[in-house]
Structure 1
Amino acid sequence: MLKIAYHPIYKHPLPLGHRFPMGKYELIYQQLLHEGTCSLDNFFEPEIPNNKYIFQVHDPEYVSDLLNLTLDQKAARKIGFPLSERLIEREIIITDGTLKASEFAVSNGIAMNIAGGTHHAFTNKGEGFCLFNDQAVGARYLLKKGLAEKILIVDLDVHQGNGTAEIFRNDTAVFTFSMHGKNNYPFQKEESDLDIALETGTQDDTYLSILIETLPKLIMDIQPDFIYYLSGADVIASDKLGKLSLTLEGCKERDRFVLQTCKDAEIPVMCSMGGGYSPDIKTIVEAHANTFRLAQEVFF
């Protein structure tokens, strides 16, 4: 059975007019139930995890500053959210969602988090709406537990996974692959194990041909026994913060290819949703919902 992390705290309110569409998480949950793609049995509620798992990735002083709301104003501004106890609790619970989904993926072949994909969180700082790097924490968790030995992170958000690249820069157990917009944030990029920077306006055919050429060879070369997939919906042409030009159908075919490749290779995959900032919330929800529909179709 497909297991999906979702908690009501995911819809934590922000000031009216904030550019980050926080409401999408609840709407995805409601849409999947409404159309029958998922039932309540598919969902589980994450909790507050043991901090030791977060400390395996993030600097204790940075974590302490977040928990105590003592992060200096300059560092807080880079995150982009107004910091509050509720926000910190939310981010920790999202991280636990990815931890638990990682274990479900080992057992079931795939598991998902309606939120997550916080790949701009570094070892000792956050930025770009990211406080804790959920997939990085999940990867270290699996490695420490002996549930994986070689992990591949496939980051197809429109923005480079700069925090993930920094965290695993000297860790040979985790291979970081980011395929993103060349001219998108972050403008000073880190070095992933493999970066593919796409030109502004890249469309479906070019995008998919590059991905189809790259991913199977990468899996063959690396031989991972677990994959994290960051399936950002901000690659579509209408996205306010992206500069690529995929259609909704192209984004769906991207997800189909990644999930089918994992299934065919018999490699467990855990998916976090990442970004999506189109002006019409229906477009965002549809793009993300496609990922869950395909997970059901391909794996179950």
Structure 2
Amino acid sequence: MRAFHYDHLTLALPPGHRFPQSKYQLLRERLERDPGLLRLQVAQPADTDVLALVHTPDYIDAVLHGTLSPAAQREIGFPWAPSLLRRSLFSVGATIDAARAALEEGVAASLAGGTHHAYADKGSGFCVFNDVAVAARVMQAAHHRARRAPAALAPMHGPAGLGVLVIDLDVHQGNGTASIFAEDETVFTLSLHGEKNFPFRKERSDLDVGLPDGCGDEAYLRALDDAMAEVWRRLDGRMPGLAFYLAGADPHEGDRLGRLKLTADGLLQRDRRVLEALFDRHIPVALSMAGGYGEDLSVTVDIQQRTLEAAAQAWGRWRDRQTQAGTAAGLSTTG
């Protein structure tokens, strides 16, 4: 399974800043020591023109040229610097890379990403550009172009275009993503989050499930099962051609910002249920690690490593299925 990273880029943050940027390097180094089925690749930065598929020209210009107001920088939570721009472009690029790889191989991942608090016209909550929203639009645009190509070259995703499913299981609601895709029938957004946690003014996803503080494994997994069943009911057979899964580690009981009480085993069960549901329905998935602010960052890295191991196992099943399909097609042709 391909997994894309960009932790060589760091932010110029003041001492004591609560954003745990060191976790990205720690995660990559852990995976390099025990790679398993993962193929680690340095991400490519997003071209600035693709940002306009989601974000407003004025906001893009302000980020590119460092003219964000002090208030806008406070809402994002980062001071503007050239390093912020570079890292934000790589964040979007990594998710685009993962989405493209997922469409080719079934499952892929970004070792960061999940910047779901970014709106079309502003950033918020440590999120500058909305990587999942931009990647979704890039993949939809590519699919549209492919449909106009000769039939032999066009991917098979149905006549209505590339439908997208966003499964946001970060502990914080994906308010920016919900706002961007409001009233958009081509993208279904699901957010399972702490009801009393940030953002305190929620947007409306296609399906929101707000959970009480202290929610543990049993209640969370029951809510997830019910939510996924409702997603399939509402889609009513119109299966999307691509899913984005924001696999936040911040619902964990040891997270500084989470306020829920899931165990590491509960989070692994969460991941496996999501990946199994998508595999059963032949929906490729690009994962983002999203949030994770553990009191002990090594615990957060442990959780994210297990998420990626579960994803790699799912990728192995996709590979086996594709191999079997290729074998069957070959036998049919020769027979």
Tell me, yes or no, whether TM beats 0.5.
yes
2:3 counterpart residue number = 4
The two structures have a TM-score, normalised by structure 2, of: 0.86
Residues in 1 aligned to 2:227 and 2:126: alpha-carbon distance in whole angstroms: 29
Question: Please, which of 114, 132, 151 is the counterpart of residue 164 of structure 2?
Answer: 151
**Pairs within 5 Å for 1:289-300:** 289-300=305-316
Residues in 2 aligned to 1:217 and 1:186: alpha-carbon distance in whole angstroms: 24
The answer as to 2:40 corresponding to 1:27 is no
1:162 counterpart residue number = 175
Question: Please, which of 182, 205, 214 is the counterpart of residue 227 of structure 2?
Answer: 214
Question: Please, which of 298, 304, 310 is the counterpart of residue 282 of structure 1?
Answer: 298
Residues in 2 aligned to 1:8 and 1:117: alpha-carbon distance in whole angstroms: 15
Q: CA deviation at 1:278?
A: 0.9
Q: CA deviation at 1:92?
A: 0.6
1:98 counterpart residue number = 95
Query: Residues 118 and 131 of structure 1 are in contact (CA less than 8 Å); yes or no, is this contact kept in structure 2?
Result: yes
1:191 counterpart residue number = 204
Residues in 1 aligned to 2:229 and 2:108: alpha-carbon distance in whole angstroms: 21
Query: Residues 116 and 273 of structure 1 are in contact (CA less than 8 Å); yes or no, is this contact kept in structure 2?
Result: yes
Query: Residues 10 and 26 of structure 1 are in contact (CA less than 8 Å); yes or no, is this contact kept in structure 2?
Result: no
**Aligned-pair Cα RMSD in Å:** 1.4
Q: Deviations over 1:140-173 (max 9, x none)?
A: 1111111762111000000000000110012111
Q: CA deviation at 1:13?
A: 5.1
Residues in 1 aligned to 2:233 and 2:140: alpha-carbon distance in whole angstroms: 20
The two structures have a TM-score, normalised by structure 1, of: 0.95
Q: CA deviation at 1:72?
A: 0.7
Residues in 1 aligned to 2:291 and 2:205: alpha-carbon distance in whole angstroms: 19
Give the number of aligned pairs: 297
Structure 1: where are the runs of 5+ without partners? none
Letter in 1 for 2:281: A
Structure 2: where are the runs of 5+ without partners? 144-154, 156-160, 317-335
Question: Please, which of 215, 218, 231 is the counterpart of residue 205 of structure 1?
Answer: 218
User: Which structure has the bigger radius of gyration?
Assistant: 2
Q: Deviations over 1:22-53 (max 9, x none)?
A: 011111111112123356xx122222322221
Residues in 1 aligned to 2:136 and 2:30: alpha-carbon distance in whole angstroms: 29
Q: Deviations over 1:41-80 (max 9, x none)?
A: x122222322221110000110110111101111111000
Query: Residues 163 and 186 of structure 2 are in contact (CA less than 8 Å); yes or no, is this contact kept in structure 1?
Result: yes
Moved more, 199-208 or 215-224: 215-224
Question: Please, which of 78, 81, 100 is the counterpart of residue 78 of structure 2?
Answer: 81
Question: Please, which of 218, 229, 245 is the counterpart of residue 261 of structure 2?
Answer: 245
2:118 counterpart residue number = 121
Question: Please, which of 31, 47, 52 is the counterpart of residue 55 of structure 1?
Answer: 52
The percent of aligned pairs where both chains have the same amino acid is 39
Query: Residues 117 and 135 of structure 1 are in contact (CA less than 8 Å); yes or no, is this contact kept in structure 2?
Result: yes
Letter in 2 for 1:252: L
Question: Please, which of 135, 141, 145 is the counterpart of residue 138 of structure 1?
Answer: 135
Residues in 2 aligned to 1:73 and 1:297: alpha-carbon distance in whole angstroms: 45
Query: Residues 11 and 25 of structure 1 are in contact (CA less than 8 Å); yes or no, is this contact kept in structure 2?
Result: no
